[in-house]
């Protein structure tokens, strides 16, 4: 990696002003009008998108993101309109994606790991209060009847209501009722149309019955005032919640049972004195609670440790078995006298060319205990639980991964073997080395030097080989004693996926805490292995 021309290059950077000037003139002379037009055109597109984004963000008064988008846009324009900054011009497009979807998301994982983000804790406190009140609403007996016309604007439905006193208002789920004066009234003084909105006809109401029945329009900006709902699309009634929110005290009171639920500031939900919790709650920072859960509670710590051990074992054995078989085959087929080597080679790399997720699914079929080919044909109808017994499942995974991975190692080892000069081998033979000695003492060390980086990246790949595990065994057999959804063959990344996205109870906070643990482990492995390979390179 050390480039001998670096120093010379730095000298170039400090080149005299005159030569820079000359370079600039040459650059300007060479760049045609076409190139300039393309550049302006592309920048115009980028700027147009940014301006649109800024406009939307301005409307939502989302200032942090607004600032970030503005800053990036300004930097991009500055870089591309500047006469210098050549390297930046080439690096910026890739870097923007890298920064957002690779670097930022890592930091964001770190943040999520310290929150209780997950099912029941998805959004802000205000949203949670509204959701709680709406979900516990009941129609108020003997409440006034509002005459209703459902109107539509840009695909969103609104309620155009005339109250018993003849006052006309409009509102939607997001916007509380507000008075309007320019509505068209019919003979019975019911508002039937409003400029800018399309009134729904009876057939439209029937067609969208479910959507309309689900609408609930707040009477005012105070959620305690209740909302309007309609059972039929022509009349609306007042619905009130038996939960009352007291913003000053931060409490939620159930008026029918007189239970007071208090926001204790820790769990992100309203909790009663007897410990009963109102859900949904909202997202709060919980400090180290997720890590405490991961390491503190026995039902999660046990699985976490065994999953970590299996992840390392799996990654190590995968590299060992695939490299072993690949190297063996490379030696077997690396003989000039053998005919048809190319035919063998093409057939042997077929498993590598077959998409990996499909291979895992096909093998899952072949290893199926009741109907699969292996049990039915190869073992004559035996009932071997290849994928459901803990140890056999682990063996199956290593075996299938061997099938998937040996062609790659075979290709790599063949290339590495052929790059070792024949003279070395001849010299050793002349000195009286036996074939095995030649291999062990000369070829293998030389080969390891060149393939060591690939072995490390293979280890890193298998460390996170989600597809194989998830598609072959789905992590199973499941460990029923564990506090999280995890099985005997789950590796860390498949555990993260299951905790965050599988099943009804999603826990993004805990999953992110696991992600952070993987990050640290991978970082540790990288540091050790990169140091190790440098040592290996010095052997040469």
CB closer to another protein out of 354 and 439: 354
Indicate whether 80 belongs to the interface with another protein (CB under 8 A).
no
Minimum Å gap between C-beta 65 and another protein is 8
Cα–Cα distance measured from residue 444 to residue 435, given in angstroms and rounded to the nearest whole number: 12
Cα–Cα distance measured from residue 28 to residue 21, given in angstroms and rounded to the nearest whole number: 11
Indicate whether 540 belongs to the interface with another protein (CB under 8 A).
no
Indicate whether 344 belongs to the interface with another protein (CB under 8 A).
yes
Structure tokens at 236: 């609306």
Binding mask 310-329 for another protein (x = CB under 8 A): -------------------x
Indicate whether 53 belongs to the interface with another protein (CB under 8 A).
yes
Indicate whether 453 belongs to the interface with another protein (CB under 8 A).
yes
Q: Is 445 helix (H, G, I), strand (E, B) or coil?
A: helix
Indicate whether 6 belongs to the interface with another protein (CB under 8 A).
yes
Indicate whether 419 belongs to the interface with another protein (CB under 8 A).
yes
Binding mask 85-104 for another protein (x = CB under 8 A): -xx--xx-xxx-xx-xxx-x
For the chain, the residue count is 540
Minimum Å gap between C-beta 77 and another protein is 18
| Buried residues in 55-93 as b, exposed as e (16+ CB within 10 A) | eebeeeeeeeebeebeebbeebeebbeeeeeeeeeeeee
Indicate whether 335 belongs to the interface with another protein (CB under 8 A).
yes
Residues paired with residue 168 on neighbouring β-strands, in sequence order = 162
Indicate whether 34 belongs to the interface with another protein (CB under 8 A).
no
First to last CA, the chain: 15
- Which window, 177-185, 210-218, 384-392, 415-423, contacts another protein (CB under 8 A)? 415-423
Contact 237, 141 (CB under 8 A): no
Indicate whether 466 belongs to the interface with another protein (CB under 8 A).
yes
Residue 77: enclosing H or E segment and its boundaries? Answer: helix 63-81
Contact 171, 217 (CB under 8 A): yes
Position among 22, 35, 249, 276 found at the interface with another protein (CB under 8 A): 35
Query: By CB under 8 A, how many residues form the interface with another protein?
Result: 113
CB closer to another protein out of 112 and 183: 112
Minimum Å gap between C-beta 282 and another protein is 15
Binding mask 477-506 for another protein (x = CB under 8 A): ----------------x--xx--xx-----
Q: 106: exposed, middle or buried (C-beta count within 10 Å: 0-12, 13-18, 19+)? A: exposed
Backbone torsions φ then ψ of 164, nearest 5 degrees? -55, -25
Minimum Å gap between C-beta 35 and another protein is 6
Angle between helices 105-112 and 508-539 (to 10 degrees): 130
- Which window, 167-175, 188-196, 228-236, 368-376, contacts another protein (CB under 8 A)? 368-376
Which residues ranging from 120 to 179 are in contact with another protein (CB under 8 A)?
A: none
Indicate whether 522 belongs to the interface with another protein (CB under 8 A).
yes
Indicate whether 377 belongs to the interface with another protein (CB under 8 A).
yes
Instruction: Map tokens 């990288």 to a residue.
Output: 526
Specify whether the backbone of 125 is left (phi greater than 0), alpha (psi in -120 to 50) or beta. Answer: alpha
Backbone torsions φ then ψ of 254, nearest 5 degrees? -90, 110
Indicate whether 353 belongs to the interface with another protein (CB under 8 A).
yes
Position among 346, 382, 427, 528 found at the interface with another protein (CB under 8 A): 346
Cα–Cα distance measured from residue 269 to residue 288, given in angstroms and rounded to the nearest whole number: 18
CB closer to another protein out of 363 and 386: 363
Position among 76, 114, 116, 117 found at the interface with another protein (CB under 8 A): 117
CB closer to another protein out of 229 and 506: 506
Indicate whether 208 belongs to the interface with another protein (CB under 8 A).
no
CB closer to another protein out of 88 and 272: 88
CB closer to another protein out of 407 and 487: 407
Contacts 24+ apart (CB under 8 A), 217-221: 217/158, 217/159, 217/171, 217/172, 217/173, 217/176, 217/177, 218/171, 218/173, 218/176, 218/177, 219/176, 219/177, 220/176, 220/177, 221/176
Minimum Å gap between C-beta 250 and another protein is 26
């Amino acid at each position: 990696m050390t480039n001998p021309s670096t120093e010379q290059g730095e000298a170039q950077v400090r080149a005299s002003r005159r030569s820079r000037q000359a370079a600039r003139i040459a650059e300007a002379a060479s760049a045609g009008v076409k190139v300039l037009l393309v550049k302006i055109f592309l920048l115009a597109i980028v700027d147009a998108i940014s301006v649109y984004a800024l406009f939307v963000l301005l409307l939502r008064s989302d200032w942090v993101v607004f600032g970030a988008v503005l800053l990036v846009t300004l930097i991009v324009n500055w870089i591309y309109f500047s006469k210098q900054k050549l390297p930046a011009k080439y690096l910026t497009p890739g870097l923007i994606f890298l920064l957002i979807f690779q670097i930022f998301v890592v930091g964001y994982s770190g943040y999520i790991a310290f929150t209780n983000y997950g099912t029941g804790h998805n959004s802000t406190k205000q949203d949670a209060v509204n959701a709680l009140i709406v979900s516990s609403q009941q129609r108020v007996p003997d409440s006034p009847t509002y005459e209703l016309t459902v109107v539509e604007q840009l695909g969103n439905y609104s309620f155009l209501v005339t109250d018993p006193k003849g006052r006309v208002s409009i509102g939607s789920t997001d916007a509380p009722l507000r008075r309007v004066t320019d509505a068209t009234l019919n003979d019975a003084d019911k508002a039937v149309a409003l400029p800018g909105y399309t009134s729904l006809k009876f057939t439209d109401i029937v067609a969208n019955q479910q959507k309309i029945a689900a609408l609930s329009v707040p009477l005012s900006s105070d959620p305690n005032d209740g909302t309007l709902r309609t059972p039929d699309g022509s009349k609306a009634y007042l619905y009130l919640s038996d939960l009352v929110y007291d913003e000053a005290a931060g409490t939620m009171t159930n008026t029918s049972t007189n239970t007071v639920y208090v926001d204790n500031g820790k769990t992100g939900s309203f909790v009663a004195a007897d410990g009963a919790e109102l859900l949904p709650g909202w997202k709060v920072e919980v400090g180290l609670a997720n890590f405490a859960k991961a390491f503190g509670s026995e039902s999660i710590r046990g699985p976490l440790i065994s999953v970590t051990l299996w992840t390392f074992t799996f990654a190590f054995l995968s590299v060992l078995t695939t490299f072993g078989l690949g190297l063996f085959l490379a030696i077997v087929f690396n003989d000039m006298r053998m005919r048809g080597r190319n035919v063998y080679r093409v057939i042997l790399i077929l498993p590598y060319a077959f998409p990996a997720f499909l291979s895992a699914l096909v093998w899952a079929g072949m290893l199926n205990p009741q109907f699969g080919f292996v049990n039915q044909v190869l073992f004559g109808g035996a009932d071997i639980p290849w994928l459901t017994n803990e140890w056999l499942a682990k063996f199956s995974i290593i075996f299938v991964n061997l099938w998937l991975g040996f062609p790659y190692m075979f290709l790599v080892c063949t290339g590495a073997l052929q790059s070792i000069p024949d003279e070395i081998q001849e010299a050793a033979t002349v000195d009286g080395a036996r074939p095995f000695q030649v291999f062990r003492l000369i070829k293998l060390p030389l080969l390891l030097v060149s393939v060591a980086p690939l072995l490390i990246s293979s280890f890193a790949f298998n460390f996170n080989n989600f597809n194989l595990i998830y598609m072959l065994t789905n992590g199973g057999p499941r460990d029923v004693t564990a506090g999280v959804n995890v099985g005997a063959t789950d590796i860390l990344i498949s555990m993260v996926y299951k905790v965050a996205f599988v099943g009804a109870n999603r826990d993004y906070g805990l999953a992110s805490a696991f992600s952070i643990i993987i990050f640290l482990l991978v970082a540790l492995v990288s540091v050790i292995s990169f140091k190790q390979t440098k040592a290996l390179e010095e052997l040469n």
